[in-house]
């Protein structure tokens, strides 16, 4: 896979460069480590405690991109026939474009749009109706609610989710967002060292670095005056069980297990091991799931994934549509604790991971190619060598540290029952 260059600019912004003479287009992605997760609802700014409503990160994404000193940045990029967007994830907000021409000018526009905001109180009010419509999409999704309910109760002292179970808020919370709060959150989280700029395309890396430095030289520095809120008791769950009522054919059950990175492993290693664990125990083809379905205990195992709260704490979430709630839980807990892993399965899994990585070359020029998109956040990009370093023995050592006895259960019951 293509090598990349990682640099830290004079102001602290991280810069990733992918010079590739074969690329026709440029791909430029500017991101900040700040998103819609509830862990950002509380923080210190200038040593004062701040508490905000949900949806600020997402609202800011709209304000910055749509009301820049150039006008609507997306409109400008659209006129240049670029692919472009702004996206807010749980812990990341991204702005990107992908296009053929005027790239240097567009890099300048992108950086200035994000680093020199000009949005006004009137702009904030004008943007609210569209965001209110967007919040409705989230509120009508019962699967999303099930996960959010689980996530809400994972940490005792952290409001990971708003009571509406929507990370981008509701009509009411959106209406309550004001200019001052948005500006405060911008000042707090969009500091230089918290941002990453990624450029892929056919360019000279030294020249590009110089050019990017020159853009920042014209901007005011944005120092860090934010301190994250120090959450205590991260090992305790807020509520071990919670229920909501929706229109469902079977119970939707999401279990969130709280786990600790006792071996101090890098996130991508943990991620690979968890995926192998899912592969062994929770895929459609496994005896465990096959029997659950055959015995009419579940309709299906739905989403299964992991999230990191920080480098020490992570979670595994497992969703299922369940017919026999008690039996499902009993079998699941038992299954997770059985060491039924086989070295040949592990090697087979790694073989397919290596092949997946080799195959990614087919998509390396596509905008949504995984390695480019995820790099600023996880540094987890295509590296066949990395998978070769993982062994069954290492996995077992990791697995032995997992205790599946600290969890919360979110249940979505049929409201007609």
Partner 1 sequence: MNTKDIKIIEPGFYYYQKEDFATIKLGFRFNFKPSKKNCLIADLLCDYMNRCNGKYHTLKEINDKCRDLYAADYAVRSKRTGQKHYIDFNYTMLDHKIIGDNFFKDAIDFFKEIMFNPLFKDNKLDSKTLAKIKQDMYDDEKEANLEPAEMQYRYFLKSIIPKSNIVKTNFLNLTELVKVLNEITDEDIINFYYELLKNYSRGWCFGNLSDEEINYISNTFKFKTSNLQKDYFHLDEIKEGYKEIKDKETTQSYLYMTYAIKDYKPEEVVLYDAILSMLNSSMTGLVLKVLRQELELVYSASADFFTMRGIIYITAKIDKKNKEKCIEGINEIFRRLHDKKIITKLLKYHKEKCNEIYISNKDNISYYLGNFTSYVYENEMEEDEEIKIINSLKVSDILNAVNRMELKNTFFYRGDK
Cβ proximity to partner 1: between 141 and 374 the closer is 141
Whether residue 29 contacts residue 95, with contact meaning beta carbons closer than 8 Å, is answered with yes
Give Cβ neighbours of residue 304 (< 8 Å, ≥ 6 apart): 278, 282, 316, 317, 318, 319
Task: Verify binding: residue 23, partner 1, rule CB under 8 A.
Answer: yes
What are the residue ranges of helices labelled H in 53-102? 56-66, 73-79
The DSSP line for 215-228 is HHHTS------EEE
The residue assigned the tokens 């800011």 is 60
Question: Given candidates 221, 356, 401, 405, which one binds partner 1 under the rule CB under 8 A?
Answer: 356
The reply on whether position 299 binds partner 1 by CB under 8 A is yes
Closest separation between CB of residue 57 and partner 1, Å? Answer: 17
Residue environment code for 50-80, b if the CB has 16+ CB neighbours within 10 A, otherwise e: bebbbbbbbbbbbbbbbbbeeeebbebbeeb
The nearer residue to partner 1, 233 or 347, going by C-beta atoms, is 347
| Nearest distance in Å: CB 378, partner 1 | 22
Q: How near is the Cβ of 345 to partner 1 at its closest, in Å?
A: 8
Contact residue for partner 1 among 363, 388, 401, 405 (CB under 8 A): 363
Closest Cα partner for 39 from 27, 26, 21, 51? 51
Quick one: tokens of 375?
Answer: 């790099």
Nearest to partner 1 of 287, 311 (CB atom): 287
**Nearest residue (CB) to partner 1, 120 versus 202:** 202
Q: How far is the CB of 169 from partner 1 (least distance, A)?
A: 13
Q: Of the candidates 139, 265, 271, 329, which one interacts with partner 1 according to CB under 8 A?
A: 139
Per CB under 8 A, 388 contacts partner 1: no
CA gap 164, 148 in Å, rounded: 9
Q: What phi and psi, each to the nearest 5 degrees, are found at residue 191? A: -75, 160
Q: Is 95 in the site for partner 1 (CB under 8 A)?
A: no
Instruction: Report the distance separating Cα 228 and Cα 239, nearest Å.
Output: 24
Which C-beta is closer to partner 1: that of 224 or that of 291? Answer: 291
Of 14, 17, 25, 153, the one binding partner 1 (CB under 8 A) is 25
Alpha-carbon 210 to chain mean position: 31
* Dist CA 184 CA 257 (whole Å): 34
Contacting residue, 293, 313, 394, 397, with partner 1 by CB under 8 A:
293
State the binding string over 140-169 for partner 1 (x if CB under 8 A, else -): xx----------------------------
Binding to partner 1 (CB under 8 A) within 213-272 occurs at 247-250
Total residues at interface with partner 1 (CB under 8 A): 52
Q: How far is the CB of 85 from partner 1 (least distance, A)?
A: 8
Complex with partner 1: residue 5 or 299, whichever CB lies closer: 299
- Residue 414 makes CB contacts below 8 A (sequence gap 6+) with 245, 246, 247, 248, 249, 250, 251
Token representation of residue 344:
């040949």
Interface segment toward partner 1; rule CB under 8 A; list 6-14, 20-28, 258-266, 309-317:
20-28
Footprint of partner 1 on 171-190 (CB under 8 A): none
* Residues of this chain, 31-90, that bind partner 1 according to CB under 8 A: 72, 74-75, 78-79, 81
3-state DSSP assignment of residue 259:
strand
């Amino acid at each position: 896979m293509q090598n990349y260059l990682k640099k830290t600019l004079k102001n602290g912004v991280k810069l990733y460069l992918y010079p590739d003479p074969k690329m026709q287009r440029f791909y430029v992605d500017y991101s900040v480590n700040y998103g819609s997760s509830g862990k950002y609802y509380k923080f210190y700014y200038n040593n004062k405690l701040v508490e905000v409503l949900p949806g600020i990160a997402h609202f800011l994404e709209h304000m910055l991109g749509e009301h820049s000193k150039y006008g609507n940045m997306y409109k400008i990029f659209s006129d240049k026939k670029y692919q472009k967007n702004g996206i807010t994830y749980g812990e990341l907000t991204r702005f990107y474009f992908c296009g053929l021409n005027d790239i240097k000018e567009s890099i300048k526009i992108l950086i200035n749009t994000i680093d020199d905001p000009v949005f006004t109180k009137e702009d904030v009010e004008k943007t609210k109706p569209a965001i209110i419509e967007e919040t409705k999409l989230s509120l009508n999704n019962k699967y999303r609610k099930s996960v959010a309910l689980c996530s809400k109760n994972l940490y005792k002292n952290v409001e990971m989710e708003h009571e509406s179970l929507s990370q981008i808020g509701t009509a009411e919370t959106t209406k309550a967002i004001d200019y001052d709060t948005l500006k405060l959150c911008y000042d707090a989280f969009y500091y230089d060292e918290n941002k990453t700029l990624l450029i892929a395309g056919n360019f000279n890396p030294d020249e590009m670095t110089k050019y990017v430095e020159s853009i920042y030289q014209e901007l005011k520095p944005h120092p860090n005056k934010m301190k994250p809120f120090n959450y205590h008791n991260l090992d305790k769950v807020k509520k071990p069980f919670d229920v909501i009522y929706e229109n469902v054919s079977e119970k939707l059950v999401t279990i969130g297990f709280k786990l600790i990175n006792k071996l101090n492993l890098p996130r991508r290693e943990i991620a690979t091991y968890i995926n192998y664990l899912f592969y062994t125990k929770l895929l459609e083809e496994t005896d465990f799931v096959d029997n659950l379905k055959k015995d009419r205990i579940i309709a299906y195992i739905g989403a299964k994934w992991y999230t990191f709260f920080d480098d020490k704490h992570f979670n595994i979430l497992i969703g299922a549509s369940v017919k026999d709630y008690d039996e499902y839980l009993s079998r699941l807990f038992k299954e997770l604790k059985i060491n039924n892993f086989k070295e040949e399965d592990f090697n087979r899994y790694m073989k397919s991971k290596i092949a997946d990585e080799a195959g990614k070359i087919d998509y390396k020029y596509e905008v949504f190619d995984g390695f480019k998109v995820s790099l600023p956040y996880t540094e987890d990009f295509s590296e066949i060598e990395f998978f070769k370093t993982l062994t069954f023995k290492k996995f077992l050592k990791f697995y032995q540290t997992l205790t599946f006895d600290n969890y919360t259960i979110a249940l979505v019951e049929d409201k007609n029952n």
